[in-house]
């Protein structure tokens, strides 16, 4: 089997998969899809698997052209665009945050923005319609905070690495939605002809209350009661159906209030970063192998998640600056239950926390007999690390 990696950047491609690469205009999903089909020639690709929100729509369009099982392109687009997602969830009558769109292109003047902010019910969360990993997501509890949050997000959207992620329409408005209090969970699954198969349900034990929403620990299996887990799965399945998603991986984020699950987001791709390394299936299959098996129609090798508890900690960035040193790595790796420590930020590299930043310092992985043991191992290992950041 030949694997071809597609990206906009040839240099990145050559580092990942020398020779088996394809440069794609990802900012134009239709053109990128046609390029994928053309690259296959008389030996068409048997599967196209997206790796992030930007490529989910490209994959859907390419699979449609190839005549393979796929999500409708507009459904993949709605999963990528938070404003379209909110509209579809609302139209389906699902529990999701109430929202308003604030036009920001052209940018509203100070007086107009102040007047708009007075008409909002607080607390709210301001977010771009298209960025991922909580980038640009800010809580505001009163008008002055909302105004400051809007101006801060506007500045983020002018950065080159943000501009390349969203088209003119996506950057034209900000989403201002109600803040939903409660614990947060994440669901990893695969859709098969519209039916959701839950692969893992993650608890997020650290409170995500703002003003920024940097995620840290994911733990599975969930410690939620079975009836609550069933309600979460049902809400995620209903959200996928509301968007029109029918095939392939999904990653859903939900909050749990007194009435039950509230859908925050559902994406037509798997979990981001290196977090998938926390998951193992059957005789040691990775999440990526399970997703590839589904894409190739090889459902016979699908297996349930391992019985042991597992977790990942995304190492937060304490402040902006130049990463000078990471001390205590050996001590962190020596904590019982810790399987690996991966430092994804290089020494000498600029680092930046949320809401402007969009990457983590690295990832800690742990396994154990019980989720609380995994959580304790991750926290112990993190305490042993000392992150040195210079100016």
pLDDT at 292: 93
Q: Are residues 193 and 273 in the same domain?
A: yes
Distance CA 339, CA 349 (A): 25
Task: For Cα atoms 43, 48, 54, give the angle at the middle one, nearest 5 degrees.
Answer: 140
Check residue 135 and report its DSSP letter.
T
What is the CATH number for 200? 3.30.470.20
From 136, 157, 178, the end of a domain falls on 178
Q: What is the pLDDT of residues 328-357, one digit of tens each?
A: 999 999 999 999 999 999 999 999 999 999
Q: Are residues 196 and 302 in the same domain?
A: yes
Phi, psi (deg, nearest 5) at residue 320: -80, 150
pLDDT at 97: 98
| pLDDT band, very low/low/confident/very high, at 165 (cuts 50, 70, 90) | confident
Q: What is the pLDDT of residues 189-231, one digit of tens each?
A: 999 999 999 999 999 999 999 999 999 999 999 999 999 999 9
CB atoms closer than 10 angstroms to residue 246: 18
| pLDDT band, very low/low/confident/very high, at 16 (cuts 50, 70, 90) | low
Q: Are residues 232 and 299 in the same domain?
A: yes
Q: How many domains does the chain have?
A: 4
pLDDT at 12: 52
| pLDDT band, very low/low/confident/very high, at 298 (cuts 50, 70, 90) | confident
The residues near 358 (Cβ < 8 Å, ≥ 6 apart) are 131, 132, 133, 135, 161
79 domain residue, yes or no: no
167 domain residue, yes or no: yes
pLDDT at 15: 56
Q: Are residues 264 and 331 in the same domain?
A: no
Q: Are residues 255 and 325 in the same domain?
A: no
pLDDT at 301: 65
Kindly report the pTM of this predicted structure. 0.94
- For the chain, what percent of residues have pLDDT higher than 90? 87
Q: Are residues 127 and 238 in the same domain?
A: no
235 domain residue, yes or no: yes
Distance CA 388, CA 156 (A): 25
Q: Which tokens sit at 42?
A: 């008389």
Give yes or no for residue 100 having a pLDDT over 80.
yes
88 domain residue, yes or no: no
Give yes or no for residue 35 having a pLDDT over 60.
yes
From 158, 178, 198, the end of a domain falls on 178
Give yes or no for residue 44 having a pLDDT over 70.
yes
- For the chain, what percent of residues have pLDDT higher than 70? 96
| pLDDT band, very low/low/confident/very high, at 283 (cuts 50, 70, 90) | confident
Task: For Cα atoms 13, 18, 19, give the angle at the middle one, nearest 5 degrees.
Answer: 105
Concatenating the DSSP letter of every residue in 244-292 gives T--SEEEEEEEEEETTEEEEEEEESS---TTGGGG--BTTTB-HHHHHH
356 domain residue, yes or no: yes
Buried b (16+ CB within 10 A) or exposed e, 309-333: bbbbbbbbbeeeeebeebebeeebe
Domain of 127, in residue numbers: 98-178
Question: Do 145 and 124 touch, CB atoms closer than 8 A?
Answer: no
Paired with 352 in beta bridges are none
List alpha helices for the chain, DSSP H: 10-16, 29-40, 53-66, 73-80, 82-91, 110-118, 143-157, 160-163, 226-243, 287-295, 329-333, 371-383
Sign of CA dihedral 357, 361, 362, 366: negative
Mean pLDDT of the chain: 94
- Residue 110 burial by CB count (10 A; 0-12/13-18/19+): exposed, middle or buried? exposed
What is the CATH number for 385? 3.90.600.10
81 domain residue, yes or no: no
265 domain residue, yes or no: yes
Q: Are residues 144 and 204 in the same domain?
A: no
Q: Are residues 223 and 259 in the same domain?
A: yes
Q: Are residues 336 and 389 in the same domain?
A: yes
Q: Are residues 302 and 312 in the same domain?
A: no
> What is Dmax (Cα atoms) for the chain?
61
Q: Are residues 55 and 171 in the same domain?
A: no
pLDDT at 20: 80
pLDDT at 257: 96
From 157, 178, 199, the end of a domain falls on 178
Nearest to 100 by CA among 112, 115, 116, 111: 116
For range 375-382, the mean pLDDT: 98
Q: Are residues 206 and 168 in the same domain?
A: no
Concatenating the DSSP letter of every residue in 199-216 gives EEEEEE-S---SSS----
Distance CA 257, CA 184 (A): 9
91 domain residue, yes or no: no
Scan for tokens 């007075």, then name that residue.
118
pLDDT at 10: 67
Q: Which tokens sit at 196?
A: 């959701």
């Amino acid at each position: 089997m030949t694997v071809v990696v597609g990206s906009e950047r040839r240099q990145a491609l050559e580092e990942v998969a020398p020779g088996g690469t394809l440069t794609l205009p990802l900012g134009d999903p239709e053109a990128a899809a046609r390029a994928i089909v053309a690259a296959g020639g008389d030996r068409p690709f048997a599967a196209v698997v997206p790796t992030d929100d930007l490529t989910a729509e490209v994959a859907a369009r390419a699979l449609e052209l190839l005549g393979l099982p796929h999500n409708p392109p507009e459904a993949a687009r709605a999963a990528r665009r938070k404003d379209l997602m909110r509209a579809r969830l609302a139209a389906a009558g699902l529990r999701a945050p109430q929202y308003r769109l604030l036009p920001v292109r052209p940018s509203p003047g100070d007086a107009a923005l102040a007047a708009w902010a007075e008409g909002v019910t607080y607390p709210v969360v301001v977010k771009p319609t298209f960025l991922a990993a909580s980038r640009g997501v800010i809580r505001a509890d009163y008008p002055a905070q909302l105004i400051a949050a809007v101006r801060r997000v506007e500045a983020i959207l002018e950065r080159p690495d943000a501009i390349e992620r969203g088209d003119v329409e996506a950057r034209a408005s900000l989403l201002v939605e109600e803040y939903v209090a409660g614990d947060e969970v994440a669901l990893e699954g695969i859709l098969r002809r519209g039916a959701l198969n839950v692969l893992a349900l993650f608890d997020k034990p650290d409170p995500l209350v703002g003003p920024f929403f940097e995620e840290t620990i994911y733990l599975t299996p969930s410690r939620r009661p079975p009836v609550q887990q069933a309600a979460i799965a049902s809400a995620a399945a209903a959200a996928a159906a509301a968007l029109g998603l029918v095939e392939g991986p999904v990653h859903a984020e939900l909050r749990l209030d007194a009435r039950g699950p509230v859908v925050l987001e559902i994406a037509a791709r798997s979990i981001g970063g290196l977090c998938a390394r926390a998951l193992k299936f059957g005789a040691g299959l990775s999440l990526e192998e399970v997703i590839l098996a589904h894409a190739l129609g090889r459902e016979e090798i699908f297996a349930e998640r391992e019985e042991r508890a597992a977790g990942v900690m995304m190492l937060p960035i304490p402040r902006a600056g130049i990463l000078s040193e990471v001390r205590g790595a050996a001590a962190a790796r020596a904590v019982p239950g810790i399987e690996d420590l991966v430092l994804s930020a290089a020494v000498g590299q600029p680092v930046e926390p949320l809401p402007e930043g969009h990457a983590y310092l690295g990832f800690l992985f742990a396994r154990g007999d019980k989720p609380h043991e995994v959580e304790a191992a991750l926290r112990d290992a993190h305490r042993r690390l000392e992150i040195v950041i210079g100016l």
